[in-house]
């Protein structure tokens, strides 16, 4: 639980160029994370939490380093099961082994489908792509593509290029040479064929441009991606948004009224009600293109560009990506602890006792949860609703409340008692004394015991919280100088 993040959260999992290419030979999909140094470990935990929630077999998701994760095909789980059975073949008949292998593959396929449905709600995920080819250099990549050209699904195609490592030559900083890209792009054009168009809506942070690009235009264009990592080149096909996600992108500037219900509704439609996989689930996971229609990805969560234009703001506001990841991590942990993994994620009551301008509340409401908030400053409490109204969202309960004192009955009634607490309490030289955050954390834990809690605090608060009886530290990561701690709380004296 006390795993501290290095410069890259997944550095210990980095593989050599040969190992990278060999790993990618199994096919599957690549998940590209937002991996700035400060938040890499936190976003990685958000992805792992989602994978655990849907019971994805752990060997199917692995880090390749630098914010790139490999999601293996469901067949890989079956291969592991078959290999394990082969070691004990003397005691198990062949038919039993075959049946067990098929069940494991079907369950893995269903878990993969459910994970895809969650990816679009994860703040740390930038792109998800079907892996076409991987090679150590451009010559090897072109050779692979000549022997097995990429299958075209649309009359047009685009190419998005990204370089995922810093310049090695310090004389050229802050520039980074891309000498491989031009020649490789020209040769790729010859291989893929006619129909090249500009990369449609690749930067969805530009809401106006993204809204102008219709879902039909995207569906009629194969969006290829070329990633240049330090030791390997990856050629992939970017997953396209589903029609529901595309509609939300087009209407984002108008603050959609149905934004809260959509993530939950999409999960209900795509997730089986039991842990066992159905035939339909396994079939839907056969091809990455089918899964892509169920799990749409955007460059940023739909509400973030609008949130940047909210009427009430102040200097200590939490980053909306971190807020979204915090809510996702805490909600996933709560559902797993209460053994609710075999049903679609249901709306939880998410409480922020130090809500400020309402960033955590907005993240929770945008994800489909019921948002409950409080703050010591009456001015903040009075202005939070207007911020969420900009998004077409609302807060179920708001109160002026000192988080270090006894909570008002309306915040702890049976109807409003929180399932999850997510909080970034004030502490430090700019917002009081160093131990102020600890006093808030201890007060909230004692009064909201039974909830799953995630706090963004300093080391003083972290040490104070884990000393309490009835508190279990589930996960810990560092975000720069901030400690992110995920807690399970039972009855705390």
| pLDDT tens digits, 25-81 | 888 999 988 866 788 889 999 999 999 999 999 889 988 877 889 999 988 876 655
CB 372 within 8 Å of CB 411: yes
pLDDT over 60 (residue 182): yes
Q: For residue 153, count other CB atoms closer than 10 A to its CB.
A: 13
CA distances from 241 to 195, 208, 280 (A): 21, 17, 21
- Average the pLDDT over 441-459 and give the result: 93
What pLDDT was estimated at residue 279?
A: 40
pLDDT over 80 (residue 292): no
Q: Please give the Cα distance from 269 to 74 (Å, whole number).
A: 21
pLDDT over 90 (residue 341): no
Residue 257 structure tokens:
């009224």
Q: What percentage of residues in the chain have a pLDDT greater than 90?
A: 39
CB 333 within 8 Å of CB 486: yes
What pLDDT was estimated at residue 253?
A: 37
DSSP conformational letter for 196: B
At 223, give phi and psi (nearest 5°): -95, 95
pLDDT over 50 (residue 209): no
Q: For residue 377, count other CB atoms closer than 10 A to its CB.
A: 13
What value does the mean pLDDT of the chain take? 77
pLDDT over 50 (residue 467): yes
Q: Considering only 295-299, 309-313, 343-347, which range has the smallest mean pLDDT? A: 295-299
Q: For residue 478, count other CB atoms closer than 10 A to its CB.
A: 18
Q: Output 141 or 288, whichever has higher pLDDT.
A: 141
Q: Output 285 or 401, whichever has higher pLDDT.
A: 401
Confidence band, pLDDT 50/70/90 cuts, at residue 217: low
Count CA within 13 A, CB hemisphere, residue 233.
20
What pLDDT was estimated at residue 427?
A: 73
What pLDDT was estimated at residue 434?
A: 61
What pLDDT was estimated at residue 320?
A: 95
What pLDDT was estimated at residue 162?
A: 84
Q: Please give the Cα distance from 64 to 240 (Å, whole number).
A: 23
Over the stretch 413-443, which tens digit does the pLDDT of each residue have?
777 789 999 999 987 655 556 667 899 999 9
What pLDDT was estimated at residue 316?
A: 79
3 state DSSP class of 350: strand
pLDDT over 80 (residue 350): yes
Q: Considering only 112-126, 188-202, 230-244, 317-331, which range has the smallest mean pLDDT? A: 230-244
What pLDDT was estimated at residue 89?
A: 52
pLDDT over 50 (residue 206): no
What pLDDT was estimated at residue 100?
A: 64
pLDDT over 50 (residue 1): no
Q: Output 347 or 178, whichever has higher pLDDT.
A: 347
Q: What percentage of residues in the chain have a pLDDT greater than 70?
A: 70
User: At a CB cut-off of 8 Å and minimum separation 6, what does 413 contact?
Assistant: none
pLDDT over 60 (residue 468): yes
Q: Please give the Cα distance from 349 to 418 (Å, whole number).
A: 5
- As to burial, measured by CB atoms within 10 angstroms (0-12 exposed, 13-18 middle, 19+ buried), residue 273 is exposed
């Amino acid at each position: 639980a006390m795993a501290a993040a290095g410069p890259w959260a997944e550095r210990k999992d980095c593989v050599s160029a040969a190992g990278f290419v060999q790993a990618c030979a199994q096919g599957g999909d690549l998940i590209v994370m937002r991996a700035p140094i400060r938040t890499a470990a936190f976003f990685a935990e958000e992805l792992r939490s989602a994978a655990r929630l849907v019971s994805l077999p752990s060997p199917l998701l692995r880090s390749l380093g630098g914010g790139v994760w490999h999601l293996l095909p469901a067949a890989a789980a079956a291969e592991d099961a078959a290999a394990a059975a082969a070691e004990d073949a003397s005691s198990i008949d062949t038919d039993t082994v075959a049946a067990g292998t098929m069940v494991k593959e079907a369950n893995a396929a269903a878990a993969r489908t459910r994970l895809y449905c969650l990816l679009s709600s994860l703040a740390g995920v930038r792109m998800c792509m079907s892996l076409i080819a991987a090679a150590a250099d451009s010559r090897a990549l072109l050779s692979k593509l000549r022997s097995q050209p990429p299958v075209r699904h649309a009359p047009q195609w685009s190419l998005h290029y990204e370089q995922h490592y810093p310049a090695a030559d310090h004389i050229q900083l802050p520039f980074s040479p891309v000498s491989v890209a031009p020649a490789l792009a020209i040769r790729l054009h010859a291989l893929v064929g006619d129909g090249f168009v500009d990369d449609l809506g690749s930067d969805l942070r530009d809401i106006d441009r993204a809204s102008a690009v219709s879902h039909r235009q995207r569906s009629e264009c194969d969006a290829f991606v070329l990633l240049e990592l330090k030791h390997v080149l990856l050629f992939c096909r970017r997953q396209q948004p589903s029609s529901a996600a595309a509609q939300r992108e087009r209407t984002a500037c108008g603050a959609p009224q149905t934004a809260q219900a959509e993530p939950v509704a999409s999960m209900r439609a795509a997730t089986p009600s039991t842990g066992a996989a159905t035939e339909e689930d396994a079939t839907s996971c056969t091809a990455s293109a089918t899964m892509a229609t169920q799990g749409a990805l955007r460059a940023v969560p739909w509400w973030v560009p609008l949130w940047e234009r909210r009427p009430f703001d102040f200097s200590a506001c939490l980053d909306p990506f971190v807020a979204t990841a915090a809510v996702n991590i805490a909600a996933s942990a709560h559902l797993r602890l209460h053994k609710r993994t075999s049903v679609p994620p249901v709306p939880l009551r998410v409480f922020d006792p130090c809500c400020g301008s309402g960033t955590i509340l907005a993240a929770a409401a945008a994800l489909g949860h019921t948002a409950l908030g409080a703050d010591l400053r009456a001015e903040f409490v009075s202005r939070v609703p207007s911020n969420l109204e900009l998004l077409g969202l609302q807060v179920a309960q708001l109160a002026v409340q000192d988080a270090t004192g006894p909570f008002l009955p309306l915040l702890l009634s049976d109807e409003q008692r929180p399932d999850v607490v997510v909080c970034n309490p004030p502490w430090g030289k700019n917002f009081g004394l160093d131990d102020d955050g600890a006093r808030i954390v201890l007060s909230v834990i004692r009064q909201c015991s039974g909830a799953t809690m995630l706090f963004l605090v300093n080391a003083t608060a972290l040490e104070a919280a884990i000393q309490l009886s009835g508190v279990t530290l589930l996960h810990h990561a560092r975000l720069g100088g901030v400690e992110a701690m995920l807690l399970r709380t039972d009855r705390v004296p």
